[in-house]
Amino acid sequence: MPVHDWTRVEAGIFHDLHVAWLPEIRKCLNGGLLPEGYYALAEQHAGRSIADVLTLHTGPPALDPMELPPATGGILVAEAPPRVRRKSTVETSALGRRRSLAIRHVSGHRLVALLEILSPANKDGKQHLADFADKALSALTFGVHLLLVDLFPPGPHDPHGIHGVMLQHLEDSEEPYDLPDDEPLTLAAYAAGPLVEVYVEHVAVGASLPEMPLFFRPDRYVKVPLETTYEAAFHGMPAFWQDVLEGRPPKTS
């Protein structure tokens, strides 16, 4: 199913897709995609009543808090690097200077990754975008891997896309990111570590969504089936809005 132009509808319509898409991804991850010992939860931000982020967890920390679980399961980067068109390595000297709070799950299990689908509210104001970038960079500071999905084109506060915002903060630079004009939507995976490995795909409205890596260790990842889960979420939307997004005259009677 091709990606729809979500700028054609108000933010609340995308919100409906958003809250349906995350459970579809969670179902795939917990249905055998994740290796043993890892699990995904749909969670909400403070003060909000809907799940808006997917978190990946593993068991309680070992005696050595820096010790990683056994290197089993998933795809080993050295054997099969993620198949994306843009890859870079960022030295994160700027992250070391940040003052942030680690996010921990109430169960005591370790937070190892975040998957976030951006909504219009994340980018509709300078402060909202700064808050989002702060949260994402704080996660990387504490070794939490990220997968960002942005189905909206750049706006006045992110003229080079969401990865452009992330990259300027990661590199502590004002150098603009080269966002392709004909593929303005962004999918970006970040493998946290002393060096952040970045894997980016850009897509256009009307294109299919590729699988993207979700890292649970710096050297291991799983492929998130964005296309099939997006399709499942979209098919649950009201027929009226499906027609609008697919360019058909909506049925009103």
Residue of higher predicted confidence among 48 and 194: 194
Taking the CA atoms of 151, 9, 22 and 239 in sequence, report the sign of the dihedral they define.
negative
Mean pLDDT estimate for the chain: 84
Residue of higher predicted confidence among 97 and 37: 37
Q: What does the pLDDT read at residue 65?
A: 39
Q: Model pTM? A: 0.87
The string of DSSP codes covering 93-135 is TTGGG--------TTSPEEEEEEEE--HHHHSSHHHHHHHHHH
Is the pLDDT at 22 greater than 80? The verdict is: yes
Q: What does the pLDDT read at residue 67?
A: 53
Question: What's the CA gap between 70 and 156, in Å, rounded?
Answer: 44
Give the pLDDT band (50/70/90) at residue 189: very high
**What residue spans define the domains of the chain?**
6-58+81-242
Residue of higher predicted confidence among 169 and 242: 242
The dihedral over CA atoms of 3, 84, 178, 189, expressed in degrees to the nearest 10, equals 80
Measuring CA to CA, which residue among 215, 234, 197 is closest to residue 147? Answer: 215
Structure tokens at 48: 């909000």
Residue 234: strand, helix, or coil? helix
Give the pLDDT band (50/70/90) at residue 107: low
Within 8 A by CB and 6+ apart from 81, the residues are 87
Measuring CA to CA, which residue among 221, 233, 242 is closest to residue 75? Answer: 221
Is the pLDDT at 95 greater than 70? The verdict is: no
Give the pLDDT band (50/70/90) at residue 60: low
Measuring CA to CA, which residue among 205, 247, 246, 199 is closest to residue 223? Answer: 199
Provide mean pLDDT across the span 198-213.
97
Helix ranges, the chain (H): 11-28, 120-123, 126-141, 161-171, 226-235, 239-245
pLDDT of 223-244, one tens digit each? Answer: 999 999 999 999 999 999 999 9
Is the pLDDT at 64 greater than 60? The verdict is: no
Is the pLDDT at 98 greater than 50? The verdict is: no
Of 93-107, 161-175, 207-221, 228-242, the one with minimum mean pLDDT is 93-107
Residue of higher predicted confidence among 193 and 251: 193
Cβ atoms of 42 and 23 within 8 Å: the answer is: yes
